[in-house]
Structure 1
Amino acid sequence: MIAETSLRYIVFLALIAAVGGFLFGYDTAVISGTIGQVSTQYALDALAQGWYVGCALLGSILGVSIAGRLADTVGRKNVMILSALLFAVSSLGCALAGSFFSLITYRIIGGAGIGMVSIASPMYISEVAPSGIRGSLVSLYQLAITIGFLAAYLVNYQLLNWVASGVFRTSGPWSLFFYEEVWRGMLGMELLPSLFFLAILMLIPESPRWLVIRKRLPEAARVFGKLYPDGRIATQKISEVQEQAAKISETNLGLLKNPKILRPVLYGMGIAVLGQFMGVNAVLYYGPGIFEQSGLSDGDALFYQVMVGLVNVVTTILALLIIDRVGRKKLVYFGVSGMIISLFLISFYFQFGDSLGWSSLVLLVLFLVYIFSTAISISAVIFVLLSEMYPNKIRGLAMSMAGFSLWVGTFLVGQLTPWFLEKLGPSGTFLFFALMCFPYLYIIWRKIPETAGRSLEDIESYWLGDKN
């Protein structure tokens, strides 16, 4: 089937949609380099610091709660366009914020963009991708997130170097953004990729499956015709989507009363929220602070965070290459096992490392093993599974519900991690993260089918009981 597609065009569409992941990653990770500066400037206590980190996550919850319904109503492409606009407004507003209140407001707006793009981009890619490489193409979105993480770490690192060297000390208005209050420059640099994303979205069509569901068949035929040059295959695809849609007569909300539909929705919500309590976002948000607690200086801690981001990118590339051949579930089994071992060892390091004479290099190695294990498993798999495991007719709403759970979990982790680190210490915090891996493994093992190599319509038939 892959040979019968216009592969270059499909990859082109996937790459454009994946740029939303870059903005997701940058907006999420850039905060790690600004926490100390903003906390000092506005005299934030632990709870206020958690609010500064978590406010964008609150925005994500708001964004994701409406993104699915919007995507089902106005289309996947239009939701991505809206998210690009929100990112642009947020980055500019944060750079120019005149108070802590306005900074929080613009961070929430950017968070709404994250929530929307986390639904629309992977959904769009899954609906244009052929089944044989759908996992790899949707994983481009996760790869873009990790590149966004790394870009944020590198921008933060470089701007701090500029501050140390005084490059912009006497450069007029630029001095505020790149010397006096460099956190403004860190947050404001997101404006450039936001505008780029907005421009290139004009080059792609709407999702053909959404067009079929909305009964816009001539447009759907044109898009499917570009994806599958053989007109017979394009016609067959339209028929398959129509046949599956005809089996479900309820409205979106009515579908949730159907146990066959509700099951995958609940499973998706379960793995989405549990994945956030396995530690990855705590490392991404609070990594420099955690490294500093091991005795590193600010500069070394940020450099270690750059190393974490680099391993995240390289491992995601590996996951992208093998996810369709190895399968989603085997990657989870392998990676989460590595997460459990590394998290237990990180907890052990903070409890006994000093007395054993372990250097901070040991901690870096353990963190890199953890990030490798995370990137090759739950981070690579989650958006692939959520974008493909729901029926076409309810995909937007179901992904919103799963995404809502994901962002609620992320918000709680962002709010609670400073408290965990203060009350439980790093050792107890990472022990908690290790224990949370076990229920995640159980759901993947017992409740989620392997979806690699299956068409979206086949997966839908599985949940409806039509296919084994």
Structure 2
Amino acid sequence: MNKKYTITISLIVAMGGFLLGFDSAVISGAVNGIRSYFEMTDWELGFSVGCVIFGAMAGNITAGPLSDKFGRKKILILTAMLFTVSALWSAFATNYISFVIARIIGGVGIGGAILIAPIYIAEIAPPKLRGSLVSLNQLNIVLGISVAYFSNYFLKDIEGESWRWMLGVEAIPAIIYFLSLFLVPRSPRWLIQKLGNVNIAEKTLIKIGGEEFAEKTIGEIQRGIDKKEAKGTYADFFSKRMRIIVIIAFGLAFFQQITGINAIFYYAPTIFEQAGGSTDASFLQAIVVGLTNLIFTFVAIYLIDKLGRKPLLIIGTSAMAVALSMATLAFNNATYNFNEKTIEKISNPEIKTALAELNGVSLSSQNELFESVQPLLNESQFIEFKQNEIKNFISINATLVLIAILLYVAAFAISLGPVMWTMLSEIFPGNVKGIAISVVGFFNSLVSYTVTQFFPWELTNLGPTVTFAIYAGMAILSLLFVLKYVIETKGKTLEEVEELLIRQ
């Protein structure tokens, strides 16, 4: 078996994951800059950050069918072009609408890459390596997130509009991805299933695993074709015999996002500022979050084909529930103190003057804080206080917040992060895989958008305590779902997984 060749082409394809991760996290450093430049409200900020997911939905719903028709490779090349255009356009945007359009274009690339890269890798990987190789896509996602946090940290002090540099630098890896994709072969399974081209598929399979592997794989693909319709439909996807597959797929897609992972990645510096950190410290803590994500994704890749998919999901969702509960506790126990030192930190002189009469007051919750501050400020001042000044008054166990966030990210990185995409690439029958992946990916993006859009509003109006409590509750529900519905696919061929699930 030619592991080197298989790993090389898997790594090239998984660069789409790197761009996805970079695009997702780089906006976290630009949040304050774009809010100020485009004069955004909380809702406008949430939309400008989350609108990328609208593009992802379009990518989700079209990438699968298009990849079935034109091939996995061509659609991946198209996503690389979209990433490049989005990076340059968003960096040069001069108005809010133009900026949002650029973000949506990048989202279409995300929607395509996040679905088609795992499908391609799963279709070329030998069963014993499939979990690890598909997880390379998730590894590259978290590597992209980490690199984005580092990039933001080193670009944040550029004079002028540093956010433009943060967003524009993504064009460099996007162009490299575009050029590298011309080196990978077309998917052997796609060649046989859609074009009936056994000869070219056989050459690629021989390169991957030798003649015996090629012969066995071609036989399995052809037997699979003989057992099902030439092309699946949406009716096939939602048919009764697919019931357990649909439940597993939609359940994992829902819980992967509703537990708040993109809120953490998109707004990491903002969260740490809410815990009283300085701008420099919050950017550095975001880097630590990215590195934690990266390290534990390596752990997932090592364990996914040894320990199995379901055990990792059980361990990870349990730890996520614990971590989010810790964050809830830390923010719940926070106090807000007004004294000469904290009042002096207020940047707006009118707000500083208005709040001077609270000197010496200590409050035990965010609700009490808002009740005390609101009568002293006009509406716009109160909004500015909640967005920018509240961090000056909080007294909190910041170490506990950091530990909770790091534990949460580590737990996600060994479970719902890589395992969901691995299982989605495994559980669907070949004739409906493109349609199924698109529909489920669209749903996953819809949940992600909801979380991202509401997060700034939740922090401002509900406070971090209630926000993290909601995520903790969802993590507990995700554990219960895994225990009841998820099956183990470790070590099985794609055809064996199909037979196992369709029988149920």
TM-score by length of 2: 0.86
Matching of residue 448 in structure 1 with residue 486 in structure 2 = yes
- Structure 2 residue aligned with 1:333: 314
User: By how many angstroms is 1:358 displaced?
Assistant: 4.9
Matching of residue 148 in structure 1 with residue 137 in structure 2 = no
1:47-196 paired onto structure 2 within 5 Å: 47-161=43-157, 163=158, 179-196=159-176
Structure (1 or 2) with the larger CA radius of gyration? 2
> After alignment, is 252-261 or 138-147 more displaced?
252-261
1:24-423 paired onto structure 2 within 5 Å: 24-161=20-157, 163=158, 179-214=159-194, 215-229=196-210, 231-249=211-229, 251-253=231-233, 254-354=235-335, 358-423=396-461
Deviations 1:47-98 (A, max 9, x none): 1011111111111111111011011111111111010000011111111212
User: By how many angstroms is 1:250 displaced?
Assistant: 6.4
- Tell whether the 8 Å contact from 1:119 to 1:403 is kept in structure 2 after alignment: yes
Equivalent residue letter for 1:289: T
User: By how many angstroms is 1:257 displaced?
Assistant: 4.8
> Which secondary structure does the structure 2 equivalent of 1:346 belong to?
helix
- Structure 1 residue aligned with 2:373: none
Equivalent residue letter for 2:205: F
- Tell whether the 8 Å contact from 2:318 to 2:476 is kept in structure 1 after alignment: no
Provide the rounded CA distance (Å) in 1 between the counterparts of 2:422 and 2:282.
32
Equivalent residue letter for 1:264: I
User: By how many angstroms is 1:200 displaced?
Assistant: 0.7
Unaligned runs of 5+ in 2: 336-363, 365-393
Deviations 1:382-436 (A, max 9, x none): 1111111111221111111111111001111111111221222101000000111
User: By how many angstroms is 1:448 displaced?
Assistant: 2.1
Deviations 1:247-282 (A, max 9, x none): 112632142253223431342122102221101111
- Tell whether the 8 Å contact from 1:56 to 1:110 is kept in structure 2 after alignment: yes
Runs of 4+ aligned structure 1 residues displaced above 6 Å come to none
Provide the rounded CA distance (Å) in 2 between the counterparts of 1:6 and 1:390.
27
- Tell whether the 8 Å contact from 1:269 to 1:401 is kept in structure 2 after alignment: no
Provide the rounded CA distance (Å) in 1 between the counterparts of 2:396 and 2:238.
55
User: By how many angstroms is 1:205 displaced?
Assistant: 0.4
- Tell whether the 8 Å contact from 1:273 to 1:407 is kept in structure 2 after alignment: no
User: By how many angstroms is 1:103 displaced?
Assistant: 1.0
Unaligned runs of 5+ in 1: 164-178
> Which secondary structure does the structure 2 equivalent of 1:228 belong to?
helix
> Which secondary structure does the structure 1 equivalent of 2:305 belong to?
helix
User: By how many angstroms is 1:357 displaced?
Assistant: 6.8
User: By how many angstroms is 1:147 displaced?
Assistant: 0.6
- Tell whether the 8 Å contact from 1:38 to 1:183 is kept in structure 2 after alignment: yes
Provide the rounded CA distance (Å) in 2 between the counterparts of 1:92 and 1:343.
36
Aligned residues: 445
- Structure 2 residue aligned with 1:169: none
Percent identity reads 36
Equivalent residue letter for 2:11: L
Provide the rounded CA distance (Å) in 1 between the counterparts of 2:151 and 2:280.
13
